[in-house]
Amino acid sequence: MPTALKRNVIQQLSLTYRAMMLAFDAQVGHPLPRWRIILSLAERGTCSQKFLAEHCRLDPASLTRQLQSMEALGWLSRATDPDDNRLTNVTLTDAGMAVHDEATPRRQAFFDDTLEGMTPDEIATLESALVHLEAQFKSVASRAKSGAAAPAAPNAKDTTPARKRATKNAS
């Protein structure tokens, strides 16, 4: 597959993600990261901040800011875990559960509206492609963190400044 096409699809994925985030917030009434926290707590009950950060895929500092603002709104409470004082547990309050219950139908409408016109087969194909991309992104991140080299593209030219100098000096 041509490199330009690969670049275009990844760039389109980024643009699509941003558009989805804006549309979700507009229709559901909550930014997606905040909604993920509300949904996790509504479905699982009390959770540690560590679990929420991992489950909601938020960095701990971002999660803490979200939790502080939601706590100020009265939607959740936080308390030190009685069995492990290194952990902070988070619980949705009655007001937070009311927010969940009120927004859930809008979330379902968001799903229905955004996938309107797609057949079940198209939706399944899209889901499969996105699952594949997620696995690939995780693999790339893992290799990058471990310092492992990425597989070289066929006929790829190394255009780093050091390589350009080496090529020029060899001539």
| Contacts of 92 by beta carbon, 8 Å cutoff, 6+ apart | 38, 41, 42, 75, 76, 100
Q: At residue 146, does pLDDT exceed 80? A: yes
Separation between Cα atoms, residue 142 and residue 131, nearest integer Å? 17
pLDDT score of 100: 98
Residue 138 has phi, psi (to 5 degrees) of -65, -40
> Would you say residue 149 has pLDDT above 80?
no
Sheet holding 76-80, edge to edge: 47-48, 88-92, 76-80
Summarised one tens digit per residue, pLDDT across range 1-55 is 678 888 899 999 999 999 999 999 999 999 999 999 999 999 999 999 999 999 9
Higher pLDDT, 58 or 160: 58
pLDDT tens digits along 75-122: 999 999 999 999 999 999 999 999 999 999 999 999 999 999 999 999
* Residue 171 to residue 167: CA distance in whole angstroms: 6
The residue whose two tokens read 């909550």 is: 30
The string over 85-121, giving b where at least 16 C-beta atoms fall within 10 Å of a residue's C-beta and e elsewhere, is eeebbbebbeebeebbeebeeebeebeeeeeeeeeee
Structure tokens given for 96: 């937070």
What is the residue extent of each domain of the chain?
Answer: 3-128
Angle between helices 3-28 and 32-44 (to 10 degrees): 70
Q: What is the pLDDT of residue 134?
A: 92
Class of domain 3-128: mainly alpha
Q: Which residue has the higher pLDDT, 2 or 124?
A: 124
Tell me the torsion sign for CA atoms 120, 125, 129, 134: positive
The answer on pLDDT for 163 being more than 50 is no
Place of tokens 């229709």: 27
Reported residue count of the chain is 171
pLDDT band at 165 (very low <50, low <70, confident <90, very high): very low
